[in-house]
Amino acid sequence: MTRAQQTISIALLLSSLYLACFLGVVPFSPKIQNEIVPVLPFWALVTFGSYLLFKLGYGVFTFNDVPEAHKELMAEISLARADLQKKGVDVGND
């Protein structure tokens, strides 16, 4: 099963469960049925957004600077410039 199929099947399962709760197929007390079930999609959306913001913030917080990769990239750029200059291409030395 691909990730798309898995995501679609989970979304269909959750939406069918919510619809069963919303339409009263699953019996709940009147307070839960009238006050909690109707706002579950908004609660899920806010929770998902909070989770994604946390993951983004944590990723920025733990971002590692990699000076070795910078040095390697600059060496490759120098090699490419030298190769192009050897072939007669003007590449400016910035």
Q: Considering only residues 10 and 70, tell me which one the structure prediction assigns the higher pLDDT.
A: 10
Q: How many C-beta atoms surround the C-beta of residue 21 within 10 A? A: 18
pTM: 0.58
DSSP SS3 for 36: helix
Angle of helix 3-22 relative to helix 40-61, nearest 10 degrees, comes to 140
Q: What is the pLDDT of residues 15-74, one digit of tens each?
A: 999 999 999 999 999 999 999 999 999 999 999 999 999 999 998 888 777 788 889 999
Cα separation, 55 vs 58, whole angstroms: 5
Half-sphere exposure of 91 (CA within 13 A, CB side): 13
Closest-CA residue to 40 (of 59, 26, 9, 19): 19
- The stretch 1-27 carries a mean pLDDT of 94
